[in-house]
Chain A
């Protein structure tokens, strides 16, 4: 058999699946976002009309779209640094030569990552219950008045961010640990001889050496956090007062509650566009940093 033919035979199943169930739908989504596909078109395809960029234009004029965008950016801008900070902090602790029971701690800290979002969101909803939750009880012990965590528009998003940090930090922690172990010990040795204390070693050796890892972690985490959906769906149903409606939550409601599939596709593409631009910005920033 000729080698190229063999290769294509081996590739066919995967490419077929990816082509039919991913590439085609993505292209179709672009087309769909230029139509007024709704409940009527769902019933009878002849009701479908091409409306150009009308969906996008409409979205840009809708307050709910802007507030969903705002909530999503809030989640990303506050959540990502906290999440990465927790990952780096725990990775440094785990990597310290003073640490005992390293394997146990690593497993314990990583455990939330493999749990099911929906299930642990249900737990957190209960932990942060206004009346019977452990969190308010603990706060009351130190004299803080009970807070309606998930029922107060000011507190709902911070609570969801705390949840996301708890759920996700273990993932990047593992990546940072590998990055830390790849730093040659001689560098620290030399710094010690020069009399550099631990904080200076961190700033001048650890952080610069971790930079490639940091850039990658940042990009992956930002992209992931932009896709906020299950957390508000389970914990707050987008409320209170729509304060936790994210872009994907809006897409889901538009598409599968109101059956405005055209509008929903436009929302999806806007999100894709935003993630793409932010990723490019992060890459550019990290390269500029190299040049300086």
Chain B
């Protein structure tokens, strides 16, 4: 095959795939600006005839979207921050601190990854119910405060911290907390960014667990609000698309801004030793 033709084929195929990947998202954006009811026409309009923000106004004024947006931000930020703290400390301990049974404990954690999270959900619900925490922000946040995946990521990364650096600090009489905060953390900055965006996105997009523990609308996160809206207003396509934009746009922008860090985490997490 002539290289010129091959080049056209490869790039053409990629353009086709990219179009398939992006088309639903672009259509969502376009329909969200259409006047209520105008998307239900034949042929289906591709662009709004008279672009309007009415759907967004309706979402925030009548459907409490502002509240859900804040709920999502609050819950996802809390999970990202708390999980970052727990995972950093544990990952560092597994990588750099010596204690009996270290490897075995770590292997046990990795082994536990085969257990689907849903197995724990039923008793977890009961536990939170007896603690009086069902239908609160805490019920969504608490189980996500540490993740095996996060611990694994930090451990892999922290292994590159030179032991001599830590030993030198210990000889100088620095305490362990001081070493962690002043020497180790600055070196772990890249993995901190990766882990934060990873956890934040996962928490933002999570559906099943919040659906189980959030029984009242006042604590709904965006995916829950959207799912319940979709069941009640299934005919209002323009409104639903605007709701999807509000839900998807924040994470999409976050990903675009920190793409390199996100993909690095994805690769580190998938190359299992």
Q: Which residues of A line the B interface, CB within 8 A?
A: 1, 3-4, 6-11, 13-15, 17-18, 21-26, 28-29, 32, 90, 93-94, 96, 98-100, 104-105, 107-112, 114-120, 122-127, 129, 131-134, 137, 166, 170-171, 174-175, 178, 216-217, 220, 223, 226-227, 229-230, 233-234, 237, 248, 251-252, 255-256, 261, 264-265, 268-269, 271-272, 275-276, 279
Contacts and interface: CB of A to CB of B under 8 A. Distances in A.
Interface of B: 3, 6-7, 10-11, 13-15, 17-18, 20-22, 24-25, 27-28, 31, 39-44, 85-87, 89-90, 92-94, 97-100, 102, 109, 112, 114-127, 142-143, 145-146, 148, 151, 175-176, 180, 201, 204-205, 207-208, 211-212, 222-224, 226-227, 230-231, 234, 237, 240-241, 243-244, 247-248, 251-252, 255-256, 259, 262-263, 266-267, 270-272
Interface of A, secondary structure class, is helix
A199 to B, nearest CB: 12
A14 B201 CA distance: 20
A17 B146 contact: yes
B205 A124 contact: no
A129 B18 CA distance: 23
A17 B208 CA distance: 20
B223 A117 contact: yes
Nearest to A133: B44
A127 B255 CA distance: 25
B7 A123 contact: no
A98 B7 CA distance: 5
A110 B98 CA distance: 40
A47 to B, nearest CB: 14
Contacts of A171: 266
A99 B27 contact: no
A119 B226 contact: yes
A226 B259 CA distance: 28
A124 B241 CA distance: 10
Given A108-B22, A220-B270, A234 B118 contact: no
A124 B116 contact: no
A166 B25 CA distance: 12
Given A1-B175, A123-B28, A137 B123 contact: no
B97 A26 contact: no
Nearest to A268: B119
Given A24-B123, A216-B272, A271-B116, A124 B24 contact: yes
